[in-house]
Amino acid sequence: MNKLIKILTLLVFGLSIFSCKTAKDIDFDKIQLADKQATKETKILYQRIQDIAKEGIAFGHEDATAYGVNWKDDGKKMNSDVKKITGKFPAVHGFDLGHIELGRSTNLDTVSFDLMRRHIKKINRKGGVITMSWHLDNPVTGGDSWDTATAVSQILKNGGEREKFELWIKQLSNFFKSLKDEKGNYIPVVFRPYHEMNGSWFWWGEGIVSNEDYKNLWRETIALLQENQVHNLLYAYSPNTVGSIEEFNKYYPGDEFVDVLGIDIYNHSGDEAFTESLKQNLEILKNKATASNKPYALTESGNNKFGMNAEWWTEALYPGIKDSGIAWVLVWRNARPDHYFASYKGDVAEEDFKAFEALEEILFLKEISKINY
């Protein structure tokens, strides 16, 4: 009975906090973003991200509504593997823009950009958060993101492939500007380009690009997007697992060019090592975010060893992120039965995922939709 009273009290308290908030409660002049001309809606998203982190950790999933294990979107009712288990959509929805630069109709994972646009509009209307990465092709060789031939120096100012790169940014800009809500306002997005730069697997990564060239690439990309009148983005910087604040800062372009701090951590070496890595890295991230006065998130994560621990969500992931202060955790895509990162119906960890969803600190779309203005 006491537990029920506590829950009801928390619910009433939560409603009293969020139901009366409006955009008038935000001091927009105090929100200083990488884009000085950021739209009001973008500043509201930034405020929401800060508020979400105060309430808990939003759960996110890549391509959640585009496809799942043994199904694809059929153009009818929007669904997801997560919703099939819990009855709730993820709070944060990730999409990738790879191949938008080439003018193609689908991204590198065969997701239609038209479908992406439709789903982003629906998710935004429901109160969800959109985050987008960009696995763009190598502009010099024409290979994919994992083609590590030298390229960055060629697309910076005065580089030999600068004209091509500017055209690619224009294609990217056109997509961002196509994201509008029912009132004609641009839908705000967390944009996370050139991620995991401290790894050596992308052409913008460690050992392939100098840290100064990387910083210039970041800054020039923002400048080009702004020249193309894109003002609905929050910019997220996210290295792979780091060992120190110095490693985190190695490619960091500066506080004035970043809005959200992130980090990508996957379970490669077993559950115990993964949980410890989460704790260590999120502490580094928290210290950096506190010093820079920015929200922060676990921008990519997931278990590469599903099928081995039916309690992975509550025994490995949650102990690593609990009370960490991150605004969200986003797990990668559910491509097929041998390559998935969120749970799905029939998965060995399905029941544990339900237990994870039920944790008070973990927030889904239904919960964060109340954290709004």
The alpha-carbon radius of gyration of the chain (Å, integer) is 20
Angstrom CA distances, 299 to 19, 24, 61, 78, 189, stand at: 28, 30, 10, 23, 14
Is 20 domain-assigned?
no
What length is written for the chain?
A: 373
Per-residue pLDDT of the chain (373 residues; tens, 9 = 90+): 444 544 444 454 454 444 446 777 888 889 999 999 999 999 999 999 999 999 999 999 999 999 999 999 999 999 999 999 999 999 999 999 999 999 999 999 999 999 999 999 999 999 999 999 999 999 999 999 999 999 999 999 999 999 999 999 999 999 999 999 999 999 999 999 999 999 999 999 999 999 999 999 999 999 999 999 999 999 999 999 999 999 999 999 999 999 999 999 999 999 999 999 999 999 999 999 999 999 999 999 999 876 678 999 999 999 999 999 999 999 999 999 999 999 999 999 999 999 999 999 999 999 999 999 9
Counting Cα atoms < 13 Å in the Cβ hemisphere of 368 gives 35
Is 311 domain-assigned?
yes
Is 325 domain-assigned?
yes
Is 23 domain-assigned?
no
The domain in which residue 68 lies consists of 28-368
Is 208 domain-assigned?
yes
Is 207 domain-assigned?
yes
Is 176 domain-assigned?
yes
Q: Whole-angstrom Cα distance, residue 237 to residue 248?
A: 10
Angstrom CA distances, 14 to 21, 24, 35, 52, 148, stand at: 12, 19, 32, 12, 49
What is the number of structural domains in the chain?
1
Which stretches does DSSP call E strand in 50-188? 57-62, 67-68, 71-72, 92-96, 129-134
Q: Give pLDDT tens digits for 171-189.
A: 999 999 999 999 999 999 9
Q: Give pLDDT tens digits for 301-341.
A: 999 876 678 999 999 999 999 999 999 999 999 999 999 99
Whichever domain contains 232, its CATH number is 3.20.20.80
Sign of CA dihedral 60, 65, 67, 71: positive
The pLDDT assigned to 23 comes to 74
Is 163 domain-assigned?
yes
